[in-house]
Structure 1
């Protein structure tokens, strides 16, 4: 990419929660190890119409989906251009996660939209997107991708737990990085909160007022996903076919259902941590919107006990860690270095995923 070991990159992340686009401009430096600084970061809410189209993207016709691909790429590109102009930034590259429409790795297919060509032209930046497809073609899950960032950028932690729409965890196991989706998270919690007219259960206050429904808890713990071993991932398909129908058939108060979900999540996450012990006292880094659910954090720490310290970092890391990591994956791709671990995804080898788009003309 260039002779210097300092790189400036923007990461774009729009996750399964579907609330907006995270933009993080980072400076990465490589000496004996990698380090990073978040220079500027912000979240741009989706315009109402765009958010609605993205939320229903899996139901669109082929033509409508192709148009949304272009429109979303164009909107992201304009957001990047404005972000850079306002903050006087000149990134070396923009790395975009895109919006996941379909994720069916068992069929060799995954689709994240947000046209790289359009994003590149609108932002006038080099763009890298489609980070998952190569890994899926190599027999992997195409997810999770964050563990490469966990490995190089957050080595002080034994476990990295991200709590977005879905919870996923990353750790070292038998000398290799291992990671997988653990359970749903905000997708189900927010679904219940909306029935109370709220976007989410702030701090877990409603959940803390509820009582666990043991029948519902047993049903959740019996879901087939939890019986799978090795690399595994959750997507919209499992939410719609398994978890949401199970949630919607419950006849109980919102508070009790929220309390049950919190208990379910702490059980599943603690099970993973306890099955992958380290010699020293474990440190568990918690990021993503769920890190602000104080009731969940308290319940998780209580279930894990004194041998594991639950760490909630500064808000900039909580909110933008995934965007930071995608920026980092883009840097690795530009250097033709591994940015996807086969040991994590189940692919037959490590790979350097992503597709490169270069604009015509000068950068900012």
Structure 2
């Protein structure tokens, strides 16, 4: 039975809430619906940055000390506003939506301590939008010993099934953290985080230029990457660990640049992200012949150029070129995952998160 699902995603880049409608039975995608976006205000972003800093020492996943209750309220309200404006704009009746997939805002991801924390009040959201909400997708995986990330691979596989391509391919999502899904036919599905995505670059741009990100990679295009700094950064032990593996947004925060002109700093951090992605290739069964890039990084033309240089001779193309939605793909994925969760289908697998057995997940909050 096909379900109509709305997916919501607020990623580690802290830019805003993505919304997307999808028709699916949890195994294949029947149709893409419209998508939308509700940006965070600068005040909301500042609050979330503070929440990230304060969440580092959380004693347990349901604790909400300090600024976190206010941050959770803001996240919930932003998601409710996103759904309300999206359904009104596209004239979608709430009774026509079967489920909403609500990821929440990750403020801490420490799978080694069996801790993953996404703030957002699903019960309050369900009451506000009058639609059932599936949430807390990652907790069961982490509790069972999995990495709890990445969670989008099953959706990437559903999308890739429509492409008739030779050889292995990789779907690369560059959000705050970068992650890949490695697909080789119907049977082989491997996934992991590869290292920093936009987080280090975004934080640098905010610090040196007061900008939330490097638009189209223009700042990086004017600079020169410090290859010696990149070589030192790549000595981090994360890069030699085999998949599955995952990261917290702030795991590389200590690598902040010092005393470097803004353009050179942007170029260095962009090149570091591309180099970190390339480091996963020797750890895969075979080198991917094609790469499809989604997430905010797909809009960064300098990032795409650097990826093509480091991943040659493989092809590298933005997801939009295939008719996929670069911006909405993660929101679509959580609509897809919500449909899978309703049907009791696995959301994660041993080769995607390291969980011992295929795991279902998600909790349902009803209006």
Band of TM-score, shorter chain: 0.7 to 0.9
Bigger drift between 63-72 and 349-358 goes to 63-72
Aligned ranges for residues 154-173 of structure 1 at < 5 Å? Answer: 154-155=160-161, 156=163, 158-172=169-183
Note the C-alpha offset of 1:103: 1.2
Note the C-alpha offset of 1:52: 2.8
Aligned position for 1:313? 319
Contact 1:143 1:233 in 2 (8 A): yes
Secondary structure of residue in 2 paired with 1:318: coil
Contact 1:36 1:153 in 2 (8 A): no
Aligned position for 2:23? 27
Aligned position for 1:100? 106
Deviations, residues 31-80 of structure 1 (Å, cap 9, x unaligned): xx612433211110124443332222242762643454344324422431
Secondary structure of residue in 2 paired with 1:170: strand
Contact 1:189 1:261 in 2 (8 A): yes
Aligned ranges for residues 80-95 of structure 1 at < 5 Å? Answer: 80-89=83-92, 90-95=96-101
Sort the Cα spacing of 1:75 and 1:214 in 2 relative to 1 into closer, same or farther, 3 A: closer
| Runs of at least 5 residues in structure 1 that lack an aligned partner in the other structure | 360-364
RMSD: 2.3
Contact 1:13 1:97 in 2 (8 A): yes
Note the C-alpha offset of 1:237: 4.1
Note the C-alpha offset of 1:112: 0.6
Contact 1:74 1:115 in 2 (8 A): no
Give runs of ≥4 in structure 1 deviating > 6 Å. none
Report how many residues are paired: 346
Sort the Cα spacing of 1:210 and 1:274 in 2 relative to 1 into closer, same or farther, 3 A: same
Deviations, residues 128-186 of structure 1 (Å, cap 9, x unaligned): 01000000011001111011111222233711000111111111379431111111121
Aligned ranges for residues 134-153 of structure 1 at < 5 Å? Answer: 134-153=140-159
Match of 2:40 among 37, 46, 56: 46
Separation in structure 2 between the aligned mates of residue 183 and residue 254 of structure 1, nearest angstrom: 22
Separation in structure 1 between the aligned mates of residue 283 and residue 107 of structure 2, nearest angstrom: 33
Secondary structure of residue in 1 paired with 2:319: coil
Note the C-alpha offset of 1:263: 2.6
Matched, 1:244 2:244: no
Separation in structure 2 between the aligned mates of residue 63 and residue 207 of structure 1, nearest angstrom: 37
Deviations, residues 307-342 of structure 1 (Å, cap 9, x unaligned): x11121328611010000110000001111111223
Name the TM-score, length of structure 1 as normaliser.
0.88
Separation in structure 1 between the aligned mates of residue 75 and residue 218 of structure 2, nearest angstrom: 35
Aligned position for 1:37? 31
Aligned position for 1:65? 68
Contact 1:23 1:43 in 2 (8 A): yes
Contact 1:15 1:165 in 2 (8 A): yes
Aligned position for 1:362? none
Bigger drift between 216-225 and 129-138 goes to 216-225
Separation in structure 2 between the aligned mates of residue 276 and residue 142 of structure 1, nearest angstrom: 20
Note the C-alpha offset of 1:96: 0.8
Bigger drift between 108-117 and 254-263 goes to 254-263
Secondary structure of residue in 2 paired with 1:56: helix
| Runs of at least 5 residues in structure 2 that lack an aligned partner in the other structure | 56-63
Bigger drift between 127-136 and 87-96 goes to 87-96
Separation in structure 2 between the aligned mates of residue 340 and residue 36 of structure 1, nearest angstrom: 22
Deviations, residues 233-265 of structure 1 (Å, cap 9, x unaligned): 111341xxxx333224x2221222222223322
Name the TM-score, length of structure 2 as normaliser.
0.87
